[in-house]
Amino acid sequence: MPSSLSLAAARRLRKRGPFHLPPGAQPIGTVVQLTLENARTQPEIVLTDTRRDLTWRVVMDQDAEQPDRWHARLRLPDKPTIVAYQFEFSGSRQPLLERRQIEGENRPIYGEWEQLPFKIAVYDPARMPAEWTQGMVMYQIFPDRFANGDSSTDRAAKGVYGHKPLFKAWGDLPEKPPLGRDFFGGDLRGVIDKLDYLAQLGVECLYFNPIFQAPTNHRYEAIDYLRIDPMLGSEADFDQLVEGAHTRGIRIILDAVFNHCSSDSPYFREARRSRHSPYYRWFEFSQWPNVYASWWGFGFMPEFAESPEVEDFFLGPNGVTAHWLRKGIDGWRVDVAMDNTDEFWRRMRDRVDAVRPGAYLVSELWRDSTHYLLGDSFSATMNYRFAWAVRGFFACDQLTASEFDDRLQVWMRDTPPPALAAQMNLLDSHDTDRLMTACAGDRSRFKAAVAFQLAYPGAPTIYYGSETGLEGDF
């Protein structure tokens, strides 16, 4: 239950008409009671199991002591889902929906509201995040920019889609606008050299942006999913990194970019060479060989079709997911999760559980990720809802205290309680400006935001260098 202050804030922000506070996320098969206040006529609840697209109705009973207060008990489904619902009244065409703040996606939104169906997340308590993920301190590393431990690999890049690579000195500024071709020489050996520093900082889990062979500095379009990029080091370096991190009690998760690859990859080149190639069915050609589905229209990032062959490559017994788990990693962060089907990620979760039970699986989704957190796909999400709320209150004065609290209370209701402490609570990342920049260089605001992050339920996530107050635009 929310505190009396939070409940008062929720009422204050939703002044007009009947009032309903939804229950938080519930285990499968639970019986819950819904209460509606300030309603003069008898309400009927219209509920929908969103996964099955099934709807049913429940009539509410009047409270014996408060005639404008209504109750109904209902049983939740026995399988993970989200139950969406609204209240309907005889004689009125307008149902009662939930008034929520619009939070934004890849950019925050403040001061705007929307009406959506109320919802209850129904989760499987037997498949919640492992104990080791609860409240851990995470640290995100963009490999090219963290530390250079082996200068012999600094100039291994050959070119980036027609652009010559730019090899930068460590103190230089990145190319702007970015073309993905400026390399600073960071590598796995540099991370190995800094493991003691990371341990002293209190880091318990390292999240790496992509490390597989790719043309660009960000490596979000792999050429080979089973090979470490030569600029970052060798497989022996990777093995030493995993061993060194685990010796210090630090876990490792890698970036899974399973939606698309590089147009320079052998998979795609073979698909374009012949329609009889086994790789032809890995991609969606509308006019072979030159017109095909690509991520957001970027031709150098052809999207995979979710064919059985692609599924086996990524999720099969000897696929990419299982291979790196057996090499010792402790989980995966999944890139652009919404661009694959939910069923694909449920099957990935099954493979992860079969190979390494208790591994950590994180989605990248900038908006409400409740449907991913029910126990049958992801352990957590990159919690941009948290980031935008904290920034809005501490960094830029865009939220009042009541609005800030309301956002956090809504997020906590949406999230299964056993998963709250495992959520990846970040304040900046490779896809945003730096927190210090968002604070306009104000160190007091920066410190207050970080202090709140570290004290709040979840897995606080530090983007490399933010512990020093590093600045930078996106």
Active site residues: 335, 364
Distance CA 438, CA 444 (A): 12
> Bridge-partner residues for 312, per DSSP?
none
Question: If you compute the radius of gyration of the chain from its CA atoms, what whole number of angstroms results?
Answer: 24
Residue 231: burial class (beta carbons within 10 Å; 0-12, 13-18, 19+): buried
Distance CA 143, CA 316 (A): 28
- Quick check: bond before 289 cis, omega within 30? yes
| Residue 153, SS3 per DSSP | helix
Q: Which helix (H) or strand (E) holds 322?
A: helix 320-326
Distance CA 344, CA 346 (A): 6
Distance CA 204, CA 4 (A): 35
Opening angle at CA 332, ends 225 and 222, nearest 5? 25
What are 444's two structure tokens?
């007091």
Opening angle at CA 118, ends 360 and 36, nearest 5? 130
- Are the beta carbons of 291 and 284 closer than 8 angstroms? no
Q: How far apart are the first and last CA of the chain?
A: 38
What are 283's two structure tokens?
């991609």
User: Tokens 């590089």 identify what position?
Assistant: 262
- Are the beta carbons of 79 and 28 closer than 8 angstroms? yes
Backbone angles phi, psi at 327, to 5 degrees: -75, -5
Buried b (16+ CB within 10 A) or exposed e, 252-291: bbbbbbbbbbbbbbebbeebbeeeeeebbebbebeeeeee
Residue 280 gets which letter from DSSP?
G
| Residue 272, SS3 per DSSP | helix
Which candidate, 464, 462, 468, 463, places its Cα nearest to that of 136?
Answer: 462
